[in-house]
Amino acid sequence: MHAPAWLTARPVAHRGLHDRARGVVENMPGAIAAAIAGNFSIEVDLQLSADGEAMVHHDDDLGRLTIGSGSLRSHTAAELKQVAFKDTDERMMSLADLCALVDGRVGLVLEVKSHFDGDRQLVGRMAEILKSYSGPVAVMSFDPDQVLALRQLLPALPRGITAQRRYDDGEWLELTPAQRRGMQSLRHAFTTRPHFVAYWVKDLPAPAPWIARHLFGCALLTWTVRTPEQRAVARAHADQMIFEGFVPEP
């Protein structure tokens, strides 16, 4: 379960190298281009459109960054590509658009968003696209079922689990206690077989990622690093950081 060397060689720009105040919006082409220019790997989020396309966007619903509102999954890919954004003239990309833009110049870390409902359409579509992409890419999700699907569909693709120490508030309470315990302990790793773990920096150090890293050989990324104090935690307890809000020195 060893991750490729590129995954930890360079800091990973969270949703690209974005700065909304300057019109460079997360997960958009400008943020991707800025990360490439800085030679940073890029983390982006994937959501499923109404017609089964993998789209690059973090939120389940439109409105925080866009003009208009509503569920992203209620719109087709063509409709989503026409949605206007508040702080940029750029438009939402599909995964295929992203792959064409990056073209293997830096590493991609794709986070599969999930409703924990057993729906594997997004992973299936992503797998179709990535079969013809030759650049460095890894995929991760909070949902162990999505990581298991990745193992089954593309076993050679580096896969990871996004995780934190506690799942006892907010939307996590919609999951069963057994699901939350399994995610907290990373117990599912015996079936999902992740190559890496991406762990919340505010929860480091913690036993589960330590065991995954030191006993099972998983690489350990940590998110989302924003402050000097968090950078110190990342240096002490992780192999690489997923960062936002600053530009790491060369």
Q: Is the dihedral of CA 192, 178, 168, 184 positive or negative?
A: negative
Q: What is the pLDDT of residues 21-65, one digit of tens each?
A: 999 999 999 999 999 999 999 999 999 999 999 999 999 999 999
The mean pLDDT of the chain is: 97
Burial classification of residue 201, based on how many CB atoms lie within 10 Å of its CB (0-12 exposed, 13-18 middle, 19 or more buried): buried
pLDDT bucket at 180, cuts 50 / 70 / 90: very high
What is the pLDDT at residue 249?
A: 86
Domains of the chain are: 6-243 (3.20.20.190)
Q: What is the pLDDT of residues 71-123, one digit of tens each?
A: 999 999 999 999 999 999 999 999 999 999 999 999 999 999 999 999 999 99
Helices 144-153 + 121-130 axis angle, to 10: 40
As a whole number of angstroms, the distance between CA 80 and CA 243 comes to 27
Task: For residue 66, give the amino acid letter.
Answer: T
Task: For residue 94, give the amino acid letter.
Answer: S
Helices 29-37 + 95-102 axis angle, to 10: 30
User: Rounded mean pLDDT of 120-128?
Assistant: 98
In this structure, the strands spanning 12-14 and 240-243 are parallel
Q: Identify whether the C-beta of residue 140 lies closer than 8 Å to the C-beta of residue 110.
A: yes
Q: What is the pLDDT of residues 225-237, one digit of tens each?
A: 999 999 999 999 9
What is the pLDDT at residue 68?
A: 85
Structure tokens at 162: 């996004």
Residue 234: C-alpha distances to residues 95, 159, 181, 198 (Å): 29, 20, 25, 11
Task: For residue 192, give the amino acid letter.
Answer: T
Q: Identify whether the C-beta of residue 181 lies closer than 8 Å to the C-beta of residue 27.
A: no
Q: What is the pLDDT of residues 212-227, one digit of tens each?
A: 999 999 999 999 999 9
As a whole number of angstroms, the distance between CA 123 and CA 114 comes to 10
What is the pLDDT at residue 1?
A: 67
Q: What is the DSSP string of 118-148?
A: S--HHHHHHHHHHTT--S-EEEEES-HHHHH
Structure tokens at 22: 């300057």
Residue with tokens 């220019």: 37
pLDDT bucket at 162, cuts 50 / 70 / 90: very high
Q: What residues pair up with 235 in beta bridges, in sequence order?
A: none
Q: Identify whether the C-beta of residue 142 lies closer than 8 Å to the C-beta of residue 112.
A: no
